[in-house]
Amino acid sequence: MRLISRRTRFSRAAVTVAVVALAAAGCGKSSTDSKSSDSESSSGTYSGKGIGLAYDIGGKGDQSFNDAAYAGFQKAEKEFKIGGQDIEPQDGESDADKVQRLTQLAQAGYNPVIGVGFAYAPAVKEVAAKFPKITFGIIDDEQIQAKNVADMVFHEEQASYLAGVAAAKATKKAHIGFIGGVDIPLIHKFEAGYVQGAKSVDPNIKIESQYLTETAQEGGFSSPDKGKDAASGQIEAGADVIYHAAGLSGQGVITEAAAKKVWAIGVDSDQYSQSALAAYKDYILGSALKNVGGAVYDLVKSVHAGKPLSGVVRGSLSNDGVGFADTNPKYKAMTDVVAAVDKAKQDIIDGKITVNTK
């Protein structure tokens, strides 16, 4: 598979897409269907079976985008004592497969029904029109305009700017890297912010930039081996801090960075704290956070309260929808790096810095 490389090129940035399938009713993976199937809130406003969640490429266990959504799913289930069904993705599915999956969740009585990733946009638009009394959510798309749809999007470029500042302050070689999973506009936002943040520290910094595939179907978000190979090439070229926006493929980036004893910067979830990455956490400088879990939880909460969110709901630094994880004690010990990141964050919130998206 051809690797697409745009070395030291200003902008392009990323997170993940979503392709998920359920060809038959029995294909879904039920999380807690044994819970009450018709919960009522204290005000008696909620009537539904629980939460329906359909994952992005890479599925649950990616330690990143999908796991962030699952964390919000779990929190809402527990807090509101409702049931839920979460469905794993399948390879090579069509929009018709997504329509079938969301239709099955809606027909089963789940409310809200959430598609994790912008590839669900056509399916959410079609199915939401057929079930006007059910609230639908879609993550990473804001094109659907319907009273019963919440478009949950984020300023990924802002969190990536902080990652760029951290990388440029932490590098010992003035040489860093970016690895995007798929060459698409959403991922370009990640690169754009990262490059801008890094160059705010050192205008002459060298930045390796690479995309793993042109399309999600080629495995850019779901192939740790591709991430490992790309990281190996960037480290060999001289990069000693690498930021990935590549979903499950990012696990390969992190393992290779740890093997070569250079810094990795994670994405979406706090990857330093992920149990599956515990063996490599000493080399995870931090993570550009995207509060997908919070978005999922907030949508469920609104539906449960009888006041469902709709329209565009955008996460930013100012509302903690995005951020930069500082869990690693080694990062906290780098007081100059922490101070630079904290200042950049405040400057963005205050409007002193406008972060590029391209």
Report the C-alpha gap between 354 and 127 in whole angstroms: 37
One domain, residues 162 and 150? no
Is 121 contained in some domain?
A: yes
In this structure, the answer to whether residues 150 and 199 fall within a common structural domain is no
The answer to the question of residue 19 being in a domain is: no
Same domain, 169 and 269: yes
* Per-residue pLDDT at 2: 34
State how many domains the chain has: 2
Is residue 336 situated within a structural domain? yes
Specify whether 136 is located in the same domain as 186.
Answer: no
Same domain, 148 and 160: no
* Helices 224-237, 250-259: inter-axial angle, 10-degree rounding: 40
Q: Has residue 43 been placed in a domain? A: no
Q: Check whether residue 227 and residue 203 sit in a common domain.
A: yes
- Whether residue 192 is found in the same domain as residue 246: yes
Q: Examine the fold and report which residue of 136, 154, 172 is the final residue of a domain before the chain moves on.
A: 154
Inside any domain, residue 21: no
Q: List the CATH number of the domain containing 269.
A: 3.40.50.2300
**Cis previous bond, 122, omega within 30:** no
Q: What is the pLDDT of residue 45?
A: 61
Task: Give the pLDDT of residue 18.
Answer: 33
The helix-helix angle for 292-304 and 65-80 (nearest 10°) equals: 30
Q: Is residue 126 in some structural domain? A: yes
Please give the pLDDT value at position 65. Answer: 87
Residue 186 lies in a domain: yes
Backbone angles phi, psi at 83, to 5 degrees: -85, -175
The last residue of one of the domains, among 125, 154, 183, is 154
Strand partners, 268: 289
Task: Give 152's DSSP letter.
Answer: E
Q: Is residue 211 part of a domain?
A: yes
- Residues 346, 197: one domain? yes
pLDDT digits (tens, 9 = 90+) for 73-116: 999 999 999 999 999 878 777 888 889 999 999 999 999 999 99
- Give the per-residue pLDDT at 40: 38
Collect all residues with Cβ–Cβ distance below 8 Å to 134 and sequence separation of at least 6. Answer: 48, 106, 110, 111, 112, 113, 128, 148
Q: Are residues 195 and 164 in the same domain?
A: yes
Last residue of a domain, one of 154, 177, 206: 154
The pLDDT of residue 91:
76
Range of the domain at 168: 156-290+328-350
Rounded to whole angstroms, the Cα distance separating 115 from 93 reads 14
Residues 89 and 166 in one domain: no
In this structure, the answer to whether residues 189 and 334 fall within a common structural domain is yes
**Same-domain status, 207 and 340:** yes
Could you say which residues of the chain have pLDDT below 50? Answer: 1-44
CA distance 322 to 92: 31
